[in-house]
Amino acid sequence: GPPASGGSAAPGTLAEAKAAAEGCRRCGLWANATQVVFGEGPATARMMIVGEQPGDREDLAGRPFVGPAGQLFDEEAAAAGLDRQAVYVTNAVKHFKFAPRGKRRIHQKPDAGEVTACRWWLDLERDLVRPRLIVAMGATALASLTGSGAGILKRRGSVERLDDGTPLFVTVHPSYILRLPDEAARAEERRRFRDDLQAARQLL
Ligand code: URA
Protein backbone atom coordinates (compact mmCIF):
# COMPACT_ATOMS: atom_id res chain seq x y z
CA GLY A 1 0.00 0.00 0.00
CA PRO A 2 0.98 3.66 -0.12
CA PRO A 3 3.64 4.67 2.39
CA ALA A 4 2.49 6.44 5.53
CA SER A 5 3.21 10.11 5.14
CA GLY A 6 3.69 11.32 8.68
CA GLY A 7 0.96 13.91 8.83
CA SER A 8 0.49 15.33 5.34
CA ALA A 9 -1.06 13.61 2.34
CA ALA A 10 1.35 11.53 0.25
CA PRO A 11 2.12 13.12 -3.13
CA GLY A 12 -0.30 11.89 -5.79
CA THR A 13 1.82 12.43 -8.90
CA LEU A 14 5.49 12.03 -9.79
CA ALA A 15 5.82 15.80 -10.20
CA GLU A 16 4.42 16.35 -6.71
CA ALA A 17 6.66 13.63 -5.35
CA LYS A 18 9.75 15.21 -6.87
CA ALA A 19 8.79 18.62 -5.48
CA ALA A 20 8.23 17.12 -2.02
CA ALA A 21 11.56 15.28 -2.14
CA GLU A 22 13.34 18.61 -2.54
CA GLY A 23 12.51 19.29 1.11
CA CYS A 24 13.34 15.80 2.36
CA ARG A 25 15.00 15.62 5.77
CA ARG A 26 14.54 11.89 6.37
CA CYS A 27 18.33 11.49 6.57
CA GLY A 28 21.28 13.86 6.65
CA LEU A 29 22.46 13.55 3.04
CA TRP A 30 20.47 16.58 1.83
CA ALA A 31 22.81 18.92 3.73
CA ASN A 32 25.91 18.47 1.55
CA ALA A 33 24.27 17.57 -1.77
CA THR A 34 23.58 20.17 -4.46
CA GLN A 35 20.02 19.00 -4.98
CA VAL A 36 17.78 15.97 -4.86
CA VAL A 37 18.00 13.66 -7.86
CA PHE A 38 14.55 12.15 -8.19
CA GLY A 39 13.64 9.36 -10.60
CA GLU A 40 12.55 10.22 -14.11
CA GLY A 41 10.46 8.64 -16.81
CA PRO A 42 6.82 8.11 -17.67
CA ALA A 43 4.30 7.30 -14.93
CA THR A 44 3.07 4.65 -17.39
CA ALA A 45 6.48 2.94 -17.70
CA ARG A 46 6.30 -0.86 -17.70
CA MET A 47 9.85 -1.14 -16.41
CA MET A 48 11.50 0.59 -13.44
CA ILE A 49 15.29 0.56 -13.14
CA VAL A 50 16.80 1.17 -9.72
CA GLY A 51 20.45 2.17 -9.15
CA GLU A 52 22.29 3.11 -5.96
CA GLN A 53 22.50 6.88 -5.62
CA PRO A 54 23.33 9.88 -7.82
CA GLY A 55 27.00 10.47 -8.53
CA ASP A 56 28.89 13.72 -8.94
CA ARG A 57 27.48 14.47 -12.39
CA GLU A 58 23.94 13.56 -11.42
CA ASP A 59 24.14 15.77 -8.31
CA LEU A 60 25.09 18.74 -10.49
CA ALA A 61 22.57 17.99 -13.26
CA GLY A 62 19.66 16.99 -11.00
CA ARG A 63 19.00 13.95 -13.21
CA PRO A 64 19.74 10.24 -12.65
CA PHE A 65 22.32 8.31 -14.68
CA VAL A 66 23.80 11.12 -16.77
CA GLY A 67 27.48 10.50 -15.83
CA PRO A 68 29.83 7.66 -16.84
CA ALA A 69 27.65 4.89 -15.34
CA GLY A 70 24.64 6.40 -17.08
CA GLN A 71 26.47 6.47 -20.39
CA LEU A 72 27.32 2.78 -20.07
CA PHE A 73 23.72 2.06 -19.13
CA ASP A 74 22.35 4.06 -22.08
CA GLU A 75 24.66 2.33 -24.56
CA GLU A 76 23.93 -1.19 -23.37
CA ALA A 77 20.21 -0.52 -22.94
CA ALA A 78 20.02 0.73 -26.53
CA ALA A 79 21.97 -2.31 -27.74
CA ALA A 80 19.52 -4.52 -25.83
CA GLY A 81 16.57 -2.84 -27.55
CA LEU A 82 15.47 -0.91 -24.47
CA ASP A 83 14.28 2.64 -24.99
CA ARG A 84 15.45 4.67 -22.00
CA GLN A 85 12.66 7.20 -22.60
CA ALA A 86 10.10 4.44 -22.02
CA VAL A 87 11.69 3.29 -18.76
CA TYR A 88 11.41 4.86 -15.30
CA VAL A 89 14.95 5.31 -14.00
CA THR A 90 15.62 5.97 -10.33
CA ASN A 91 17.94 5.31 -7.39
CA ALA A 92 17.63 3.69 -3.97
CA VAL A 93 19.04 6.89 -2.43
CA LYS A 94 18.25 10.30 -3.88
CA HIS A 95 21.05 12.51 -2.62
CA PHE A 96 24.74 12.22 -3.53
CA LYS A 97 26.90 11.02 -0.63
CA PHE A 98 30.55 11.96 -0.94
CA ALA A 99 33.75 12.81 0.85
CA PRO A 100 35.66 15.91 -0.30
CA ARG A 101 39.21 15.18 -1.46
CA GLY A 102 40.88 18.32 -2.73
CA LYS A 103 38.70 19.61 -5.56
CA ARG A 104 37.12 16.20 -6.05
CA ARG A 105 34.08 14.68 -4.44
CA ILE A 106 34.59 10.98 -3.84
CA HIS A 107 31.51 8.75 -3.92
CA GLN A 108 30.67 7.08 -0.61
CA LYS A 109 28.36 4.12 -0.20
CA PRO A 110 25.10 5.02 1.51
CA ASP A 111 24.67 3.25 4.85
CA ALA A 112 21.73 1.03 5.83
CA GLY A 113 19.98 3.87 7.68
CA GLU A 114 20.15 6.14 4.63
CA VAL A 115 18.88 3.38 2.33
CA THR A 116 16.02 2.63 4.73
CA ALA A 117 15.10 6.31 5.12
CA CYS A 118 15.04 6.83 1.35
CA ARG A 119 12.97 3.72 0.72
CA TRP A 120 9.96 5.90 1.54
CA TRP A 121 10.51 7.64 -1.80
CA LEU A 122 11.22 4.46 -3.72
CA ASP A 123 8.03 2.91 -2.34
CA LEU A 124 6.13 6.02 -3.40
CA GLU A 125 7.59 5.82 -6.93
CA ARG A 126 6.61 2.13 -7.09
CA ASP A 127 3.13 3.10 -6.02
CA LEU A 128 2.78 5.88 -8.59
CA VAL A 129 4.32 3.96 -11.53
CA ARG A 130 3.24 0.40 -10.71
CA PRO A 131 5.77 -1.12 -13.12
CA ARG A 132 5.33 -4.63 -14.45
CA LEU A 133 8.99 -5.32 -13.80
CA ILE A 134 11.65 -3.74 -11.61
CA VAL A 135 15.35 -4.12 -12.39
CA ALA A 136 17.77 -3.81 -9.47
CA MET A 137 21.23 -2.71 -10.58
CA GLY A 138 23.66 -3.54 -7.80
CA ALA A 139 23.58 -4.59 -4.16
CA THR A 140 22.24 -1.31 -2.74
CA ALA A 141 19.14 -1.37 -4.96
CA LEU A 142 18.73 -5.06 -4.23
CA ALA A 143 19.01 -4.46 -0.47
CA SER A 144 16.50 -1.62 -0.57
CA LEU A 145 13.97 -3.65 -2.55
CA THR A 146 14.36 -7.08 -0.91
CA GLY A 147 15.98 -6.43 2.46
CA SER A 148 19.32 -7.96 1.45
CA GLY A 149 21.88 -7.34 -1.26
CA ALA A 150 23.94 -10.37 -0.23
CA GLY A 151 25.00 -12.83 -2.92
CA ILE A 152 24.21 -10.48 -5.80
CA LEU A 153 26.56 -12.24 -8.22
CA LYS A 154 24.66 -15.49 -7.62
CA ARG A 155 21.26 -13.78 -7.83
CA ARG A 156 22.21 -11.89 -10.97
CA GLY A 157 20.12 -12.84 -14.02
CA SER A 158 17.35 -14.31 -11.86
CA VAL A 159 13.84 -13.08 -11.21
CA GLU A 160 12.68 -12.63 -7.62
CA ARG A 161 9.25 -11.58 -6.39
CA LEU A 162 8.76 -8.49 -4.26
CA ASP A 163 6.34 -8.21 -1.32
CA ASP A 164 3.58 -6.86 -3.60
CA GLY A 165 4.15 -9.57 -6.22
CA THR A 166 6.10 -7.38 -8.65
CA PRO A 167 8.83 -9.39 -10.41
CA LEU A 168 12.34 -8.13 -9.76
CA PHE A 169 15.18 -8.80 -12.19
CA VAL A 170 18.65 -8.71 -10.63
CA THR A 171 21.75 -7.39 -12.35
CA VAL A 172 25.01 -5.67 -11.47
CA HIS A 173 25.63 -1.95 -11.27
CA PRO A 174 27.25 -0.30 -14.31
CA SER A 175 29.85 1.33 -12.01
CA TYR A 176 30.98 -2.18 -11.01
CA ILE A 177 31.74 -2.83 -14.69
CA LEU A 178 33.58 0.49 -15.10
CA ARG A 179 35.75 -0.26 -12.06
CA LEU A 180 37.04 -3.63 -13.35
CA PRO A 181 40.77 -3.11 -13.88
CA ASP A 182 41.13 -5.55 -16.75
CA GLU A 183 40.01 -4.36 -20.19
CA ALA A 184 38.98 -7.83 -21.40
CA ALA A 185 36.99 -8.44 -18.20
CA ARG A 186 35.25 -5.09 -18.69
CA ALA A 187 34.26 -5.99 -22.24
CA GLU A 188 32.95 -9.38 -21.12
CA GLU A 189 30.97 -7.85 -18.25
CA ARG A 190 29.48 -5.26 -20.58
CA ARG A 191 28.28 -8.10 -22.77
CA ARG A 192 26.73 -9.89 -19.81
CA PHE A 193 25.08 -6.66 -18.65
CA ARG A 194 23.60 -6.19 -22.13
CA ASP A 195 22.33 -9.78 -22.06
CA ASP A 196 20.75 -9.09 -18.66
CA LEU A 197 18.95 -6.00 -19.96
CA GLN A 198 17.74 -7.94 -22.98
CA ALA A 199 16.49 -10.76 -20.76
CA ALA A 200 14.68 -8.19 -18.60
CA ARG A 201 13.11 -6.58 -21.66
CA GLN A 202 11.85 -9.95 -22.79
CA LEU A 203 10.07 -10.41 -19.45
CA LEU A 204 7.82 -7.42 -20.16
N1 URA B 1 25.06 5.61 -10.20
C2 URA B 1 23.81 5.36 -9.73
O3 URA B 1 23.56 4.39 -9.05
N4 URA B 1 22.86 6.22 -10.03
C5 URA B 1 23.05 7.29 -10.78
O6 URA B 1 22.09 8.01 -10.99
C7 URA B 1 24.35 7.52 -11.27
C8 URA B 1 25.34 6.68 -10.96
Query: Which parts of the chain register pLDDT below 50?
Result: 1, 5
What are the pocket residues of ligand 1 if the criterion is a CB atom closer than 6 Å to any ligand atom? 51-55, 58, 64-65, 67, 69-70, 91, 175
Q: What is the pLDDT of residue 3?
A: 54
What integer pLDDT is reported at residue 16 of this predicted model? Answer: 98
Ligand 1 centre to CA of 7 (Å) is 31
Could you tell me the distance, in angstroms and rounded to a whole number, from the CA of residue 174 to the centre of ligand 1?
A: 9
Q: Output the CA 182–ligand 1 centroid distance in Å.
A: 22
How much is the ipTM here? 0.93
Residue 44's CB is within 10 A of a number of other CB atoms, namely 10
Q: Which of 35, 48, 50, 52 to mutate to test the pocket of ligand 1 (most atoms within 8 A of CB)?
A: 52
Query: Among 37, 53, 106, which is best to mutate for testing ligand 1, by the most ligand atoms less than 8 A from CB?
Result: 53
Mutate to test the pocket of ligand 1, among 175, 176, 177, 179 (most ligand atoms within 8 A of CB): 175
Residues paired with residue 168 on neighbouring β-strands, in sequence order: 134, 160
Atom number, ligand 1, closest to the C-alpha of residue 137:
3
Q: Is the model's pTM score more than 0.80?
A: yes
Query: Which pLDDT does position 148 carry in this prediction?
Result: 98
Looking at residue 31, the DSSP 8-state letter turns out to be G
Task: Supply the pLDDT for residue 9.
Answer: 81
Give the C-alpha distances (Å, rounded to integers) separating 117 from 30, 109, 110: 12, 14, 11
pLDDT value, residue 1:
46
User: How far is the centre of ligand 1, averaged over its atoms, from the C-alpha of 6 (Å)?
Assistant: 28
Alpha helix locations (H) across the chain? Answer: 14-21, 56-61, 68-79, 112-129, 139-146, 152-155, 174-179, 183-202
> How much is the pLDDT for 24?
98
Query: How many whole angstroms separate alpha carbon 187 and alpha carbon 12?
Result: 42
